[in-house]
Amino acid sequence: MTPGDLLQNAFGYGLFTGGLGLHLGAERLGCTVVPISGGNTERQLKIMRDFRASVLSCTPSYAMYLADAARDRGLRPEDIPLRVGFHGAEPWTNELRAQIEAGLGAHALDIYGLSEMGGPGVAYECLCKAGMHINEDHYLAEVIDPHSLRPLPHGEVGELVFTTLSREAQPLIRYRTRDLCALIAEPCACGRTSLRMTKPIGRSDDMLIIRGVNVFPSQIEEVLMSIPAIEPHYQIVVDRKGYLDVIEVWVEVGEDIFAETMGDLERFQKGVQAQIYNVLNIQAAVKLKEPRTIQRSEGKAVRVIDKRTAL
Ligand SMILES: [Zn+2]
């Protein structure tokens, strides 16, 4: 992205740093920004062509969704003016990259950031697509063993840890991101000599990333445990339909509740969904299960089933 580019920023605005964070950074670079935020696919495609957007920023799953929507409307990649897309906030693979690039006719590059470090712009891919260049003038990166907490040599996978070098309001020293990746010290083919990081391959805690939103199973548990009719047995099932993450929450309810009418059951189920939405800000489908139907475990309960491994 260079001065004069037109960025269509389809990251959510509001408290999510992807929206305003990228917006302000792009303006600082001398780019024009269309603050379109997420959703409204019809309008995204229209504005992209009417304004001749050269850069798109959004989650990779939404980029793929836009590519499919464009194809369904008879648009060819050459009808789409984009030159490059910056996609992040959720894990994605090189296979998905190839599909986005074919669909939108633009380079699809990975970006990495976290709210605690100022949001987007901590690290980004260049056109070599061989790891993300870390902005080392602002962040000191280390990879540690998450158990012993000792720093690991470059090239070994461990937990990514950052120290801020230029932040004044909220400096952080050796902040543990919980993201697992490796650091690459060799200079990049693009000529830049900065340290690079591989795509995070997972998390060192139980946090889930659902459509770019950080979700802790404990948040869902808190909601469920506040509802008396719900038994302390539940499972969270995460899957990917098309390119979008979907989350189901299976909850076991007491005998009494199945004596209610279908209408009452549906109202109860909708009520639980609304309470989860209030806390997480994402739609989860709640499935009511009869007593003793959710598998019990001897040791650590299997609370989360993540079927997205095939990404
Ligand atoms: Zn490079």
Structural tokens at position 244: 């979008």
Q: What is the CA(90)–ligand 1 centre distance, in A?
A: 21
Q: Output the CA 130–ligand 1 centroid distance in Å.
A: 7
Q: How far is the C-alpha of 110 from the C-alpha of 59, rounded, in Å? A: 10
Which residues does 46 contact at the CB level (< 8 Å), separation at least 6? none
Distance CA 76, CA 97 (A): 18
CA of 4 to the centre of ligand 1 (A): 22
| Model confidence pLDDT, tens digit, residues 221-258 | 888 888 888 877 889 999 988 888 999 999 988 888 87
Give me the domains of the chain, ranges plus CATH numbers.
1-111 (3.40.50.980), 126-205 (2.30.38.10), 210-310 (3.30.300.30)
What Cα–Cα distance (Å) separates residue 67 from each residue in 111, 126, 241, 244?
Answer: 19, 22, 16, 13
Of 34, 23, 22, 31, nearest to 1 by C-alpha is 31
Rounded distance from Cα 127 to ligand 1 centre (Å):
7
The structure tokens listed for 197 are 């990081």
CA of 176 to the centre of ligand 1 (A): 25
Query: What would the pLDDT profile of 289-311 be if each residue is shown by its tens digit?
Result: 988 888 776 555 678 888 886 54
219: closest CA among 268, 290, 282, 175?
282
CA of 89 relative to ligand 1 center, distance in Å: 20
CA 122 – ligand 1 centroid, Å: 15
pLDDT level of residue 92 (50, 70, 90 thresholds)? confident
> For residue 63, what pLDDT is reported?
92
Q: Which residues pair with 306 in a beta bridge?
A: 238
